[in-house]
Amino acid sequence: MKDADRDDDLVSRTRRRFLGQGAALVGGALAGGAAAGTARAERTAPVPNAPPNVPEWMKAPGADVGSELYGTPSRFEKEVVRNLARNLKQYTSASSRAPLQEFDGIITPNGLFYERHHGGIPDIDPAQHRLMVHGLVEIPLLLTMNDIRRFPSESHIYFIECSGNPGFEAMNGRTASDLVGLVSCAEWTGVRLKTVLEEAGLKPDARWVVAEGADAAALTRSIPIEKCLDDALLVYSQNGERLRPQQGYPLRIVLPGFEGNMNVKWLRRLNVTAEPAYSREETSKYTDSMPDGTARQFTFYMEAKSIITRPSGTHRIEKGFNEISGLAWSGHGRITQVEVSVDDGRTWQAAQLQEPVLTRALTRFRFPWTWDGRPTVILSRATDETGYLQPSLAELTAVRGMKSFYHNNAIIPWRITASGEVTNGFVKA
């Protein structure tokens, strides 16, 4: 027997042994009930298009490659869509959530990226759009999109997360998307903000840059000059194509690790100042109310966070082997460790981090688990490169109270019943 034949035979035998063990475990878990017969029937029922039969889709040529000018997913994936609050009217100030439980990697497709708008989505002609740079600069600039694209470009993978993802009193969602779907990750392409500011020339007392969007809300946020001269980007492309209108077309700011509201979309103005603007979005909104009546302001960074996305709410698992998988991220840098508990936090074990592990990007983690069929609660917690460990909700609210709406990065529990049903662990069974 040739070496290649021996290798193929070994793989085949190993696969049969693994699947056989899985079938035995599942059969044992269901034995004695009506569910066992149903499950066996589903596994043994004839499938006309399965091997060794020739499936229908092999008997005639498929669709013309030019039949769709912009590619779309398979019709069998039509349920993988953004999560809208169907019980609420979608006003111009609204949001949609990424279906985290449906993802496998770390990159969010453009059509599924979460959205948050304060004055609707403007329809901007890039040929007429301009970026004004003024204030405490030596040379005020009025830049066209062509001007901006002439600067040296860079591409980086970063997450963006809404700081209200979720609010402290909004922990009753059914799915991972319901709970923390206001986070997504993409490859962003654009120009360093530092490059444009150096072109204009900063005056000595420049301390802040006030960014304004071209939406009806004229959303305005103040950015520390240190961030502007570090890794801030003026972005015109996302995942290799031009920004979509929902993501700020034709130009937005991306501030790696900072709360989503600061990544101003439809960017039209950069005003360099000595003081922050104290705009609506950094006074009456996006500040953290504390138990003693004070408020935390300019809480820019998103802290380390994680969530198990498979299995998660509305999923159902079977006894035996189940891979636990999820996402972790931190505004302070790379994720260095994710731990998983399968016994409601009594013990923790390290999960495997899937490459690439990037700074301020989503990180995929995986943990092999053999479920014994008994009810339990599964959790994950992340540690970032600063040594910060994701807290439990009790630990977080002991310091922050329940008045705040923003920056809730608490550990998220999933409850698993004896039947394998997975539900939100914050909701009492």
Is the model more confident about 314 or about 18?
314
Task: Identify the pLDDT of residue 29.
Answer: 37
The pTM of the full predicted model, rounded to 2 decimals, is 0.89
- In which order are the strands placed within the sheet that holds 349-350? 349-350, 335-341, 376-384, 414-416, 422-424
Map residue 208 onto helix, strand or coil.
Answer: strand
Q: Which residues of 127-155 are buried (b: 16+ CB within 10 A; e: fewer)?
A: eebebebebbbeeebebebeebeeeebee
Q: Where are the domains of the chain?
A: 94-296, 305-424
Reply yes or no on whether the pLDDT at 4 is more than 70: no
- The CATH architecture to which 305-424 belongs is Sandwich (2.60)
Instruction: Tell which CATH architecture fits domain 94-296.
Output: Alpha-Beta Complex (3.90)
Query: Mind giving me the DSSP string for 106-166?
Result: SPPPGGG--EEESS------TTT--EEEEESBSS-EEE-HHHHHHS--EEEEEEEE-TTTT
Residue 103 predicted with pLDDT over 90:
yes
Strands 320-329 and 305-310: antiparallel
Per the DSSP assignment, residues forming a β-bridge with 327 are 307, 364
pLDDT tens-digit series, residues 21-43 = 444 443 333 333 444 444 444 55
What are 68's two structure tokens? 């769709």
Tens digits of residue pLDDT in 195-212: 999 999 999 999 999 999
List, for residues 143-176, the tens digit of each pLDDT value: 999 999 999 999 999 999 999 999 988 899 999 9
Ramachandran bin of 13, using left for φ above 0, alpha for ψ from -120 to 50, beta for the remaining angles: alpha
94-296 with 305-424: one CATH topology?
no
Is the pLDDT confidence value at 9 over 60? no
Q: Express each pLDDT in 230-241 by its tens digit.
A: 999 999 999 999
Spell out the residues 6+ positions from residue 82 whose beta carbon is closer than 8 angstroms to its own: 96, 97, 98, 99, 111, 112, 114, 115
